[in-house]
Every structure is written in structure tokens, then in C-alpha cells.
Amino acid sequence: MLLLLAASLFIGGVHAADWPRLLGPADNATSPETKLLRELPKDGPRVLWQVEKGSGFGGPAIVGGRCVIFHRVDGREVVQCLDAESGKGMWKYDYEAQYRPRYGGSEGPRTSPVIADGRVFTFGITAQLTALDIATGKVLWQRDCVRDFAMGKAFFGYGSTPLVLGQRLIVQVGGKVDGAPANTVALDVATGKTLWAAKHEWGASYASPVPAKIHGRDCVLAFAGGESRPPTGGLIVMDAADGKVLSAFPHRASVAESVNASSPVLSGARVFVSEAYTAGGVCVEIAPDFSAKPAWSAENTGIYWMTPLVLDGHLYASAGQSERLAEFVCHEIATGKEKWRTDLGGDFGRASLLQTEAGVLCLGEFGDLAWLELSPSGAKIRSRCRLFHAPETWTLPALANGRLYVSQNERGDGGTKPRIICYDLRGE
């Protein structure tokens, strides 16, 4: 097996990095890359390549010069490996995944591929979990998680992107293990064997688990909440080594057909989670004994799917249940005080934010790209362009080695089809 490791390199004064997973190398929507293009041309950065794709909301994963995408074409889920610099196809693997959405909309998948130690992991809309050799596309192992873990129903299919921690692949399943409720499981990355189960009855959400060190302990944070009546869910804090549930703080909308889709964010011993339907946001304080209590709440900061940024003691997010109601907002983490709220005078809608050395990169849900200056005193657009105009541009872009990979998920103006577009974001 070819061993490819997610890397961060300093070459010729430029800090370049891979993007192995949905939220980037640090699992928090930040990138260490430097020397990026700070002034966006009116028509957008130079397009290096583009590849049409099927349905789905997942973003690409890029490691060692390979770009892996995950999408759906003609009733089959497709894992496709491309050359990250040219877009040229290297291999493709697909399998049948029968699924019909009850509430309309995309047929998925709703997750992104994960690359670690020469393997690609995908978790499909029907909960088919697959491990592939990144060099060849050969199947290493597969698990039908609905069958293996007695997973409950899901409003929009299954859609929590897994997390790799060392030799453990951590997946939110919202099912059962040995007859006992289990929200999250850890599998051996080499074999797929179950290593531990976090015993909790809350169902699986659409938010991805993230790693966290809290009071010196390696933990996993999951924002749970699957299909249930009455709706249940909230923040689960697990021990990363054995899956022991250390804390469980309820937070879920009162509306049954709601989803928790925004991943938790950590600041010290505080964790912020948010949903967009009725409950909004809450910042949870984790005590040294791992008891949990609310530090502050922000009912008006309801986040749909984007992951907020934590910068210098402040939390920045794009909040709103619909594009019409979307606003950027800033909260002081120590107090919860709302410092400001604005739509920036544009049509960004429910945007994604990506922190870099050059500033905060913002991708609006219709295809607008901008560099923002965010501080406790306000928000400012420094540079802006329109990449394309298409709805449901909901996927956080991937940034790797000076290239920005953007997922256009729906048809756009001019008849453009869903595609992955690679832009040159390298500066002088």
C-alpha cells in the first residue's frame, strides 16, 4: 500500500498544507497556508481545472497530490480520485445505493471523504462505510452500518462525516451495539473491526464529530440528534480512547423535522453548538469532573450547517434558517455578549468561513467568494468576486497547496452543471 500522509510543508517561504477531511487539517475550518492571493480578480481566481459531478454536498479531500471526491450518479455512489493539480482521473469506485428522499432535495451523499494513512474512507447516504486504498481504489473493507449497528431512520439519509484519530475511525451511527444504544462507534482503520461504542440513546445527526483536548484529556465531541419524536439530541463528550460518555448536554429544536448539522467548536473548556430551527446556539462549560452546564445561550444565533470560527476569544458565524434571514454574527466567548450582527450588504446567504493567515475566506451559498476582515469591532469585505451563480453552494471549500477546491452542488446560471472547480489561490 502506498503510504500518503496529510502534510504541512514550508517550501520557499510558502507554508503549504493538505486538506484530509471536511473541516481541514485541524478539524476547525482553518488552514496554515500562507502566501495566498489577497486581491480577488473581478471574475474570480484563475481556474486550473473543473470536473463535473453528480449530486451531493460533500467537499473534496486532498492529500499527497490526490484529490478524492464523493458523489452520486444514476443511483450509485461514486468515489473518484483525481490528480490534485490537473484534475485528471486516477481511479474510480462506485456501488449501488438505493435512496429516495422523503422531503425532496438532493439524493446525497451528504458527507465528505476522509484520507488517512494511505486510505480513503467514505460514509454514504445509506450508511455504507467503505475503506479504499488511495493508490489503487481497491476496497480494503466495507460495513453496512444500518445492519451492523441497527441504525434508526434519518430524515435526509445518513450524513455525518467520520473522523480519524490514530488507528480509530470514529463514526456517528445512532444505533445499537450488543443490544445497547450507541451514538458513536470507533472502528479499526485497517480492518473495520469495532473497537468501542459510546453508549448513549441520542440518534446520529448530520454534524461531524471533532477531536478536542479538555482538561488534559483526549476527547471526541459529537453534536447528536437524529430522527425522533419528541426530538432529542445535544452535545456528547466522549473519551477518545474508550468511548466512555463523559458529558451529555441536551440541545435540540422543538420541531421534530429538525437536524443538528453544525459541528461543535471548542474554546478552552467551552464548547459551542447551534441549530437553526428554534433553539439557536448555546455555549457549554465543561467542568474538571466533566459535568456540563450552560455558560451562555444565543437563541438568535441559529446555525444550519456551517462551522463557526473561534478567533482571539470571539466566535464568528453565519447564522439563519434561510438565505433571506442569514446574517454574520460575533459573540464574545467569555461572556456570550453579541458584539455585532450584519449581512454585509450582500447576498452571501448562509455562508461558509475558512480562516487563513491572509484573513477569513467566505464562500456564499450562491457562489460569491470574498476575503473578510473580522474583529470584535465589526466585519468588512476586503475583496470580492462571483465564481458562479448557483443555489445550495453549502460546502466548505477545501484549501490545499495554494489551490481552492469549490463544490458547485446544483445547476447554475448559464446552464453550468454541478462540478468541482479548482482555483489558483497562490499569491506572489
pLDDT in tens, 376-395: 999 999 999 999 999 999 99
Given pLDDT bands bounded at 50, 70 and 90, which one contains residue 257? confident
Work out the angle at residue 250's Cα, subtended by the Cα atoms of residues 249 and 252, and round it to the nearest 5 degrees.
140
Structural contact between residues 208 and 163, judged by C-beta atoms closer than 8 angstroms? yes
Residue 347: what pLDDT? 87
Given pLDDT bands bounded at 50, 70 and 90, which one contains residue 426? very high
Contacts of 261 (CB under 8 A, 6+ apart): 159, 205, 206, 207, 275, 304, 305
pLDDT > 70? residue 189: yes
Q: Which three cell numbers stand for residue 406?
A: 469549490
Alpha-carbon distance 199 to 174, whole Å?
10
Instruction: For residue range 107-136, list pLDDT tens digits in order.
Output: 889 999 999 999 999 999 999 999 999 999
Residue 5: what pLDDT? 41
Instruction: For residue range 322-370, list pLDDT tens digits in order.
Output: 999 999 999 999 999 999 999 998 789 999 999 999 999 999 999 999 9
Instruction: For residue range 132-188, list pLDDT tens digits in order.
Output: 999 999 999 999 999 999 999 999 999 999 999 999 999 999 999 999 999 999 999
Alpha-carbon distance 183 to 200, whole Å?
5
Residue 217: what pLDDT? 98
Report which residue type is found at 341: R
Alpha-carbon distance 403 to 426, whole Å?
7
Report which residue type is found at 15: H
Return the CA Rg of the chain. Answer: 20
**Could you tell me which of 276, 257, 285, 270 has the C-alpha nearest to residue 327?**
276
Residue 8: what pLDDT? 54
Structural contact between residues 76 and 104, judged by C-beta atoms closer than 8 angstroms? no
Residue 13: what pLDDT? 52
Structural contact between residues 405 and 49, judged by C-beta atoms closer than 8 angstroms? no
Given pLDDT bands bounded at 50, 70 and 90, which one contains residue 91? very high
Cis check: omega of the bond before 418, within 30 degrees of 0: no
Residue 7: what pLDDT? 53
Beta bridge partners of 116: 119
Residue 425: what pLDDT? 97
Residue 112: what pLDDT? 98
**Could you tell me which of 137, 140, 143 has the C-alpha nearest to residue 93?**
137
**Could you tell me which of 356, 351, 349, 327 has the C-alpha nearest to residue 339?**
327
Given pLDDT bands bounded at 50, 70 and 90, which one contains residue 16? confident
| Assigned CATH topology for domain 8-424 | Methylamine Dehydrogenase; Chain H (2.130.10)
Q: How far is CA 264 from the centre of its chain?
A: 10
**Could you tell me which of 400, 419, 412 has the C-alpha nearest to residue 31?**
400
CB atoms within 10 A of CB 216: 6
Q: Which H helix or E strand runs over 146?
A: helix 145-149
Q: Which three cell numbers stand for residue 19?
A: 486538506
pTM of the model: 0.95
pLDDT > 90? residue 2: no
Q: Which H helix or E strand runs over 145?
A: helix 145-149
Instruction: For residue range 191-219, list pLDDT tens digits in order.
Output: 999 999 999 999 999 999 999 999 999 99
Mean pLDDT of 313-319: 98
CB atoms within 10 A of CB 69: 25
Cis check: omega of the bond before 230, within 30 degrees of 0: yes
Instruction: For residue range 156-168, list pLDDT tens digits in order.
Output: 999 999 999 999 9
pLDDT > 60? residue 17: yes
Residue 88: what pLDDT? 98
pLDDT > 50? residue 68: yes
Alpha-carbon distance 209 to 212, whole Å?
10
Alpha-carbon distance 166 to 183, whole Å?
20
The rounded mean pLDDT for the chain is 95
Residue 103: what pLDDT? 79
Alpha-carbon distance 36 to 243, whole Å?
39
CB atoms within 10 A of CB 43: 10
DSSP class of residue 349? -
